[in-house]
Chains A and B, each alone.
Chain A
Amino acid sequence: KAGVTQTPRYLIKTRGQQVTLSCSPISGHRSVSWYQQTPGQGLQFLFEYFSETQRNKGNFPGRFSGRQFSNSRSEMNVSTLELGDSALYLCASSLATASSYNEQFFGPGTRLTVL
């Protein structure tokens, strides 16, 4: 099976712009989670989608949003970019069901640089 894919791999934006990142999960996985990874804060959970519904949400401002499509592909959007949004954004998919969780499989990440 193909792994989790994320596009683009690298992005450079300027403050105030917005950005959309895309994630295609492993075939058959209905749960998609997003994480922000920075050297100072480590891995921080953004949100999780399951069957097109946001199931969990971390402590990020409303500038960070996401969605999931019927084919389980997911996008996350960051509006009004700030310098502090520079990070590696990781997407993870899993075979989680409506009532259980399983291990997550991560994509290679999108490296976002905000200038």
Chain B
Amino acid sequence: FVMTQSPESLAVSLGERASINCKSSQSVLYRTNKKNHLAWYQQKPGQPPKLLIYWASTRESGVPDRFSGSGSETDFNLTISSLQAEDVAVYYCQQYYSTPSYTFGQGTKVEIK
């Protein structure tokens, strides 16, 4: 499994939309449960990653609704609808379809323009 994120970095004005793409080399759609085994994490400097989205589009409890996930099989997106200063971070996608290697994407750095 290879997870490829784009862009590597992006700068967005406060209040504007930020979108990150994640492509998987193989489908992460598990036919048995009809779920995409794809998660998104946010990591700020000096902190552990924080789970934002799982099953490709389910927001983790407590995550602001400006964060949303979409996509299926091999092509996924994380969207921040209105960028806030506290959203500056590196964002990673991760497939959890193929154990034991739950591969991460290389990360996308989001900054304020």
A and B part of one assembly: no
Residues of B within 8 A of A (CB): none
Residues of A within 8 A of B (CB): none
